[in-house]
Each structure stands twice: as C-alpha cells, then as structure tokens.
A and B are shown apart, each in its own frame.
Chain A
Amino acid sequence: MEFLLWVRGPAFNLALTVFVLGMTVRLLEIFLLGRRPNYAEPRGPEFGPGMKTVLNRFAVDPGVFSRAPFNVVVGYLWHIGFLACLFLFIPHIELAHGTFGLSWPGLPNPLVDALAAVTLVSLVAVLIHRNRHPVMRYLTTREDTLVWIATFLPVLTGYLAYHRAINPYPVALGLHILSVELLMVLFPFTQLTHAFTVFIARWYNGAAFGRKGVQS
C-alpha cells in the first residue's frame, strides 16, 4: 500500500516533471532552430499540404509493404493496440478526467483486454523478428532493446493487474504505474520521442512539397 501511494504520488510527480520538461525542451529546440530560408518563389501553400501529409502517411506505402510485410502489419497491430489500451481503457480515461477534467468515450473492458493480449503477442513477435532477421539484428542498439522493454512492461503489468494475477492488488497496480513512469522518464531521451516528432517531420515534408507545388 505504501508502495502504491509512493508511485501514485511522489514518483508520479517526478516522472511527469521529467516527461513534460524534457519533451518541451526537445520540441522547442527543434522549433527554434528553424529551417534554412528558402529564397525560391513558392508555387503553393505550405500549411494545408503539410497537414495532409501528416494524415496520408498513415497509409502504407505499397513498396514498403511488399518488402517488409511483417514489419508493417505487426507494427500497425501493436501500435493500435497500445494506443487503444492507453487512451480507451476506462480507468485511463478517468485519470485524464480526474486531473484535467477531460473525458471521452472508452471501449468495453473485454475489448481492451483482447487488444492488450494482441499487443503483447505482437510485441514479442516484433522482438523475435528483430533478433532473427540478420540485418535488423545488426542494426539493433541497446537503446532499441531498452525502448522495447519500456514499452512492453506497461502493457504486461497492466494486463496482469487487470486479471489480478499478482497478489496483493496494490502491488500489481503499483508495478503497472511504476512501469509507465519508467516509460515517461525515458521518453524525452530516447527514440520514443518519435511519438511527437513523427508528426512534425511529416508536416515539414508535406510543407516542403506543397511549397514546390508537387504532390507528397
């Protein structure tokens, strides 16, 4: 119980501070550095095409799919599963509601439960694939492994806590929250930042094409 109170209180404060402060610094650094001035006369607007690219890059590129179907399918599977568990599980929505007053509809618990199971299996499959594929194994760094662990643990501990597989429950819930705090602390310092920067990169890409008057 003391452990649960610690992870819900001081530890959460610490993790949240590192996460918000770290991400703000990183994003501001990117924005303030700016882009090289382009003196060519623009042939089209930047904002609209930029936003369009943010969205249409969600569609899978046929070339990439034919070369690496496993990465595309399983990658999508666990990303969707992870985000659904994070944002559409009722207790998680209650967290946003209780702290910022924001609320949105959630999914029924059994559905989130199934998605969590799919996410866990997919993440394990991703790890096995990464280790068995010679090129991917060669490219894998320690940071990749660390990020995989930091992503896997919240889903695993959440799944175990939901099924009350660890007794007593305050320990199970405490471990789940602690694993999320680990993810939050690692977020600004690892490739996890892609959760934010991917959209910035897409926008810049789309905006550059828009300026040149070509389709992105």
Chain B
Amino acid sequence: MADTDTLGESLRRLGVTRRGFLKFCAATASMMALPPGAAAAMAAALEKARRPSVIWLSFQECTGCTESLTRSDAPSLEGLIFNAISLDYHHTLQAAAGSAAEAAREQAMKESWGKYLLVVDGSIPLANPGYSTIAGISNVEMLKETAQGAAAIVAVGTCAAFGGLPKARPNPTGAVSVSDLITDKPIINVSGCPPIGAVITGVLAQYLTFGQLPDLDAYRRPRAFYGQSIHDRCYRRPFYDKGLFAESFDDEGAKKGWCLYRLGCKGPMTYNACATLRWNQGTSWPVEAGHPCLGCSEPSFWDAGGFYKALSVPTAEVARTAGYALAAGVAIGGVAGMVGQSIKTTAATGHQKVTVDELEA
C-alpha cells in the first residue's frame, strides 16, 4: 500500500547511505541525458517524495516486458518496489491471486485515488472482450475503471503503446493501444518489444522525481530514450557511410561487422536507446550480436515489411502488381493498337486521289 514515509526516510531506514543515494541520482540523471544540476534536484525531490502507489495491469501480452523489467539493473526492480514505488498490483509478480488480488487493486485505487501511477503492458482486445479477461473482468473494462483514478498512465511495451503484435494484420482480436481508449489522462509510451529494462525504470524514476511527464515525442515516447534513431547511434554506422555491407549472415562483411542494412536492418527508421544503453547490464544489443534491428519500438513494426528485407523494399506486392498491370496494359494497348490500325486503314481507303488536271479545273 502507499506509504506515508518519504523516500528519504524509508531509504535511511533501510540503511542506504547518502553517498549511495546521490550516486543513484547521478546515474539516473545521466542516463536520461539530464543536465548535471538535475542530479542534485533529483536527490532533493526523491528525498521528499512520498512513495506513490503503482498498479500494473497486464493485458494481451507475452510477459516479455515484465521479464525485461525484472532484469533491469539500474535502478533495480527491488529498489523500485521497496525503495521508490509501492507496486500494489502486478498479477505476474504478486503472490495473491483471484479475488484477493483484485481486492488489493481496488484497495490501492481507493486509498490513492487520483494519485497512483498506472502501468499497462499488453494491448486491449475489442473484437470480443472475452478474448482476454482477469478474474472475469474484461481488459477494456479494467483499464477504463483503473485509469479513472490514475495520475498518469505508462504504456509499457509496443503492445500497450501501439497495439503491437496482437494488432498485426489481420488483427483477429481487434487489438488497440491504451491511447486508443484513454484520452483524458497523461500517457507515456515506453515502446519496444520489449523495452529496455533501464528505460522502463528510468521513466518511472523520472516521474517519481519530478512528478510530471518527461519531454515526449510525437508518439508520446520520452525523448531522453527515443530522441535518436538506432542508425544515428549505431557503432556500425561508419560502415553504412562507407558503403560496406554484410550481404549474408556468414559472409566476410558479417564477420568484419559491417552494416546490416542489406540484411533488413530497420535501424534508420527506429527510435530507441538500444545502441547507447544496450541490453543485459549493458552487455550487448541485437546489432552488436550480428542481427538487424527489427524496429520493434515503432508502431506497426510487425507489418512494416519482412524483417530480413531492406527498408527500401516496398511492402506492396510489387511483382504481382507489376504482373497484373502488365497484363492489363497488354490488353488495353492491344485494343488501342487495333483502333489505331483501323483509323489508319479507314484513312487510307477513304483517301480520295486528286489529279493535277482536277485541281487546275
């Protein structure tokens, strides 16, 4: 439940030193590209912050976002749960189930009405609300009910942010994103399939520090993490600029770490922090591991053409369209040609010859 202690008090009680606390603030501020002075501001704000209640709803999702969060290193999930936030409801992580779990959600909502942070992962099916339910409550109903009392909503993962994989054509469940349903609350989209753990926790930490939404882009993603494209921050970028490309996954170019554009890399159109924050405690990231970027933090990435086809390849059925157009062109052109021939023949047969004598007459 929401704690009445300030974060500073609870941290001191847990034996966290002032030095450790400041180091955490500096690391978080730096990760989010905030100016150096922000670390002190963050420390001061967090010191006084009340531990806000967080309710986490999981809808049509694969639990990958929770998996990503539980592997985030800075700040750690434990740190977030116990030191900074009060995670009152997360049905994957909590021990309670069924009506007990729902009671916890309702109690948290009641106690912190208007103040709690709502985190959502997964899309919401509208074709038939029965496609995804929790304790007999449909996703759409639970989202609308819980969103009413939320101070802000964080849509974690591409499914919650943009509809994601469930929304891929032909979208059998009629999946929609959080922002398709909720329009009267501040929404932060933390897209990615899954998002980087540090990005999820970084956004939560920033919200707790400043109590307001971070600077967002056109897709409501925090600019601190989604401000630059993968391509612009990619360590393989110099190879693109030189025109050196891997053409298969095991050729010389691949072994030398050349650009993966020809293998379908969607880095040029993808805005995310993978190239700078990297994954698994900063160990590596897909492109470093030799695989092209799939563009997972962008809307409709699943329908944006083959993963292994270059970005310049149209998603249209080019060969089929060209074939049909050619066939139609041959038919129409044939008719047009025959009409032309007939005009020519008519003109030739209808041509009246005039002799010089007739002209002079």
Q: Is B242 an interface residue, CB under 8 A from the partner?
A: yes
Q: Is B218 an interface residue, CB under 8 A from the partner?
A: yes
- Residues in B whose Cβ lies below 8 Å from that of A12: 314-316, 318
Q: Nearest A residue to B232 by beta-carbon distance? A: A164
Q: Mark B322-348, 1 if CB is under 8 A from A, else 0.
A: 101110111011101110110010000
Q: Is A106 an interface residue, CB under 8 A from the partner?
A: yes
Interface residues of B in 122-178 (CB under 8 A from A): none
- Interface pair B315/A110, CB less than 8 Å apart: no
Q: Is A16 an interface residue, CB under 8 A from the partner?
A: yes
Other than A32-B338, A100-B319, give 20 A-B pairs with Cβ distance below 8 A.
A5-B300, A5-B303, A8-B305, A9-B316, A13-B321, A16-B316, A16-B325, A17-B321, A21-B325, A21-B326, A22-B329, A24-B330, A32-B340, A94-B262, A94-B310, A97-B310, A109-B243, A110-B242, A111-B243, A168-B217
Q: Is A31 an interface residue, CB under 8 A from the partner?
A: yes
Chain A residues close to B by CB (< 8 Å): 1-2, 4-5, 8-10, 12-13, 16-29, 31-34, 90-92, 94-95, 97-100, 106-112, 164, 168-170, 173, 177
- Residues in B whose Cβ lies below 8 Å from that of A33: 337, 340-341, 344
- Interface pair A91/B329, CB less than 8 Å apart: no
- Residues in B whose Cβ lies below 8 Å from that of A8: 304-305, 314-316
- Which 9 pairs between the two chains have the least Cβ-Cβ distance? A32-B337, A24-B329, A28-B333, A98-B313, A108-B243, A20-B325, A94-B310, A91-B312, A109-B243
- Interface pair B322/A109, CB less than 8 Å apart: no
- Interface pair B333/A27, CB less than 8 Å apart: yes
- Residues in A whose Cβ lies below 8 Å from that of B341: 32-34
B274 to chain A, nearest CB (A): 16
- Interface pair B242/A108, CB less than 8 Å apart: yes
Chain B contact residues: over half helix, strand or loop, or mixed?
Answer: helix
B266 to chain A, nearest CB (A): 10
CA A173 to CA B318, docked complex, whole Å: 18
11 A–B contact pairs at CB < 8 A?
A: A5-B300, A8-B316, A20-B321, A21-B332, A25-B332, A27-B333, A90-B245, A94-B309, A164-B229, A169-B269, A177-B314
Q: Nearest A residue to B333 by beta-carbon distance? A: A28
Q: Is B298 an interface residue, CB under 8 A from the partner?
A: yes
Number of A-B residue pairs having CB atoms within 8 Å of each other in the complex:
150
Q: Is B261 an interface residue, CB under 8 A from the partner?
A: yes
- Interface pair B325/A95, CB less than 8 Å apart: no
CA A23 to CA B217, docked complex, whole Å: 43
CA A95 to CA B303, docked complex, whole Å: 17
CA A133 to CA B236, docked complex, whole Å: 49
Q: B315's contact among A9, A22, A107, A109, by CB below 8 Å, is which?
A: A9
Q: Is B317 an interface residue, CB under 8 A from the partner?
A: yes
Q: Given the known A-B contacts A24-B333, A33-B344, are A169 and B325 also in contact in the complex, defined by CB atoms under 8 Å?
A: no
- Residues in A whose Cβ lies below 8 Å from that of B242: 108-110
Q: Is B231 an interface residue, CB under 8 A from the partner?
A: yes
CA A164 to CA B243, docked complex, whole Å: 16
- Interface pair B318/A91, CB less than 8 Å apart: no
Q: Is B299 an interface residue, CB under 8 A from the partner?
A: yes
A109 to chain B, nearest CB (A): 4
Q: Is B240 an interface residue, CB under 8 A from the partner?
A: yes
CA A4 to CA B305, docked complex, whole Å: 11
CA A106 to CA B232, docked complex, whole Å: 23
Q: Nearest A residue to B299 by beta-carbon distance? A: A1
CA A2 to CA B219, docked complex, whole Å: 12
- Residues in B whose Cβ lies below 8 Å from that of A16: 316, 318, 321-322, 325
- Interface pair B322/A90, CB less than 8 Å apart: no
B301 to chain A, nearest CB (A): 8
- Residues in A whose Cβ lies below 8 Å from that of B268: 169, 173
- Interface pair A13/B333, CB less than 8 Å apart: no
Q: Nearest A residue to B269 by beta-carbon distance? A: A170
- Residues in B whose Cβ lies below 8 Å from that of A24: 325-326, 328-330, 332-333
CA A94 to CA B330, docked complex, whole Å: 28
Q: Is B120 an interface residue, CB under 8 A from the partner?
A: no
- Interface pair A168/B315, CB less than 8 Å apart: no
